[in-house]
Chains A and B, each alone.
Chain A
Amino acid sequence: MTDATAPSTTESILTSTARDWSSDVTTFKGVPWGKAMMWIFLVSDTFIFTCFLVSYMTVRMTVTDPWPNPSEVFALAIPNELFGWQFLESPIPVPLLLIAIMTFVLISSSGTMAMAVNMGYQRNKKGVVLLMSATALLGFTFVAMQGYEWSKLIFEEEVAPWNNPMGAAQFGSFFFMVTGFHGLHVSAGVIYLAIIAYRVGRGHYDKTNFEIVEITGLYWHFVDLVWVFIFALFYLW
Chain B
Amino acid sequence: MATEGQQHPIKIYLLVWALLFVFSAISYASDYMDDGVIRTSVILLFMILKAAAIVAVFMHMQWERYALIFAILLPPLALMVLMTLMAIEADYAWATRVEYMGEPIAPEPKPPPTHRH
Whether A and B touch (Cβ < 8 Å) is answered with: yes
What 0/1 readout, one digit per residue, does chain A (204-237) give for beta carbons within 8 Å of chain B? 0000011100100110011011001101110011
Residues of A that sit less than 8 Å from B by CB: 3-7, 13, 16-17, 20-21, 26-33, 36, 39, 42-43, 46-47, 50-51, 54, 57-59, 61-62, 64-67, 69, 71-72, 75, 77, 91, 93-96, 100, 103-104, 107, 110-111, 113-115, 117-118, 120-122, 167, 209-211, 214, 217-218, 221-222, 224-225, 228-229, 231-233, 236-237
Given A5-B6, A237-B40, A217:B58 Cβ within 8 A:
yes
- Which of B13, B97, B107 is A115 in contact with, Cβ under 8 Å? B13
In this complex, the interface size class of chain B, counting residues with CB under 8 Å from chain A, is 35 or more
Closest approach, in angstroms, between the C-beta of B97 and any C-beta of chain A? 6
Q: Is B38 an interface position by the 8 A CB rule?
A: no
What 0/1 readout, one digit per residue, does chain B (1-18) give for beta carbons within 8 Å of chain A? 111111110100110110
Asked if residues A64 and B101 are in contact (CB atoms below 8 Å), the reply is yes
Asked if residues B90 and A61 are in contact (CB atoms below 8 Å), the reply is yes
Closest approach, in angstroms, between the C-beta of B77 and any C-beta of chain A? 11
- Which of B28, B93, B97 is A96 in contact with, Cβ under 8 Å? B28
Please indicate the chain A residues that have their CB under 8 angstroms from the CB of B116 in the complex. Answer: 72, 75, 93
Given A75-B116, A121-B6, A66:B108 Cβ within 8 A:
yes
Given A111-B13, A121-B7, A232-B27, A31:B1 Cβ within 8 A:
yes
Scan residues 14-69 of chain B and give those whose CB is less than 8 A from a CB of chain A.
14, 16-17, 20-21, 24, 27-28, 30-32, 40, 43-44, 46-47, 50-51, 54-55, 57-60, 63-68
Asked if residues A221 and B54 are in contact (CB atoms below 8 Å), the reply is yes
- Which of A71, A107, A118, A209 is B24 in contact with, Cβ under 8 Å? A107
**Cα(A115)–Cα(B12), bound, Å:** 11
Closest approach, in angstroms, between the C-beta of A106 and any C-beta of chain B? 10
Please indicate the chain A residues that have their CB under 8 angstroms from the CB of B117 in the complex. Answer: 77, 91, 93
In the complex, residue of chain A having the shortest beta-carbon distance to the beta carbon of B3: A30
**Cα(A72)–Cα(B35), bound, Å:** 14
Asked if residues A31 and B68 are in contact (CB atoms below 8 Å), the reply is yes
Most buried by B among A7, A114, A115: A114
Please indicate the chain B residues that have their CB under 8 angstroms from the CB of A66 in the complex. Answer: 104-108
- Which of A36, A43, A46, A71 is B31 in contact with, Cβ under 8 Å? A71
Given A107-B21, A228-B47, A236-B30, A54:B5 Cβ within 8 A:
no
Please indicate the chain B residues that have their CB under 8 angstroms from the CB of A122 in the complex. Answer: 5, 7
**Cα(A64)–Cα(B90), bound, Å:** 11
Asked if residues A54 and B67 are in contact (CB atoms below 8 Å), the reply is no
- Which of A26, A30, A114 is B13 in contact with, Cβ under 8 Å? A114
24 A-B pairs with C-beta separation under 8 A: A7-B66, A16-B67, A20-B65, A27-B71, A28-B67, A28-B68, A31-B68, A43-B75, A47-B79, A54-B83, A57-B87, A62-B93, A67-B107, A71-B115, A93-B114, A95-B113, A96-B28, A100-B24, A104-B24, A111-B13, A222-B59, A224-B54, A229-B51, A236-B27
